[in-house]
Amino acid sequence: MKIMVAIKRVVDYAVKIRVKPDKSGVETQNVKMSMNPFCEIALEEALRIKESGLASEVVAVSMGPPQCVDTIRTGLAMGADRGIHVEYPDALYPLSVAKLLKALVEVEKPGLLILGKQAIDDDCNQTGQMLAGLLRWPQGTFASKVIMDKEKQAATVDREVDGGIETLSLDLPAVITTDLRLNQPRYATLPNIMKAKSKVVKKYTPQDLNVEIKADLEVVQVTEPPKRKVGVVLSSVDELIDKLKNEARVI
Partner 1 sequence: MVTSFVHCSRGLRRSCSIRGAKMPSSYFSELRSAVQNGIRKSAAGCDGGVQSSVEVLVGQGKLWSGNLRCFHSVPSSAVSGLNVLLRPGTVFHSRSDSQLGLKRDYCSGVSPGYGLGIRNSRNCSNFSRGFLGKSRSFSSSGEGESIQYDVVIVGAGPAGLSAAIRLKQMCRGKDSDLSVCVVEKGAEVGAHILSGNVFEPRALDELIPQWKNEEAPINVPVSSDKFWFLTKDRAFSLPCPFDNKGNYVISLSQLVRWLGKKAEELGVEIYPGFAASEVLYDDDTVVGIKTNDMGISKDGTKKETFQQGVALKDFLDKVTREEVMMPDSSSTLQKSEITGRITLLAEGCRGSLSEKLLRKFNLREKGHGQHQTYALGIKEVWEIEEHKHKPGSVIHTLGWPLDNKTYGGSFLYHMNDRQVSLGFVVALNYGNPYLNPYEEFQKLKHHPAIKCLLDGGSVLQYGARTLNEGGFQSIPFPVFPGGAIIGCSAGFLNVPKIKGTHTAMKSGMLAAEAAFSALQEGSSMDMYWDALRKSWIWEELRLARNYRPAFEYGLLPGLGVSAFEHYVFKGRLPFTLKHGKPDHEATDVAKRHPPIEYPRPDGTLSFDVPTSLHRSNTNHDHDQPPHLRLRDPTVPERVNLPEYAGPESRYCPARVYEYVPDEEGKLKLHINAQNCLHCKACDIKDPKQNIEWTVPEGGGGPGYSIM
27-35, 104-112, 155-163, 173-181 -> range binding partner 1 (CB under 8 A): 27-35
**Per-residue H/E/C for 113-128:** EEEECCCCCCCCCCHH
CB of residue 21 vs partner 1: minimum separation in angstroms? Answer: 8
For 13, other C-beta atoms within 10 Å of its C-beta total: 11
CB of residue 58 vs partner 1: minimum separation in angstroms? Answer: 11
194 lies in the binding site for partner 1 (CB under 8 A): yes
User: Would you call 132 helix, strand, or coil by DSSP?
Assistant: helix
Judged by CB, which is closer to partner 1: 140, or 185?
185
Q: Which of 163, 187, 229, 249 touches partner 1 (CB under 8 A)?
A: 187
Q: Which of 76, 14, 7, 1 minimizes the C-alpha distance to 42?
A: 7
24 lies in the binding site for partner 1 (CB under 8 A): no
Beta strand 154-161 with 33-35 is unpaired
> Exposed/middle/buried for 64, CB within 10 Å: 0-12, 13-18, 19+?
buried
18 lies in the binding site for partner 1 (CB under 8 A): yes
225 lies in the binding site for partner 1 (CB under 8 A): no
Cα–Cα separations (whole angstroms), residue 207 to 4, 25, 163, 233: 21, 27, 43, 62
Q: Which of 120, 124, 154, 193 touches partner 1 (CB under 8 A)?
A: 193
CB of residue 4 vs partner 1: minimum separation in angstroms? Answer: 18
How far is residue 37's CA from residue 54's CA, in Å, rounded to a whole number? 24
10-18, 161-169, 201-209, 215-223 -> range binding partner 1 (CB under 8 A): 10-18
53 lies in the binding site for partner 1 (CB under 8 A): yes
Q: Which residues bind partner 1 (CB under 8 A)?
A: 12, 14-16, 18, 30-32, 34, 51-53, 184-191, 193-195, 197-198
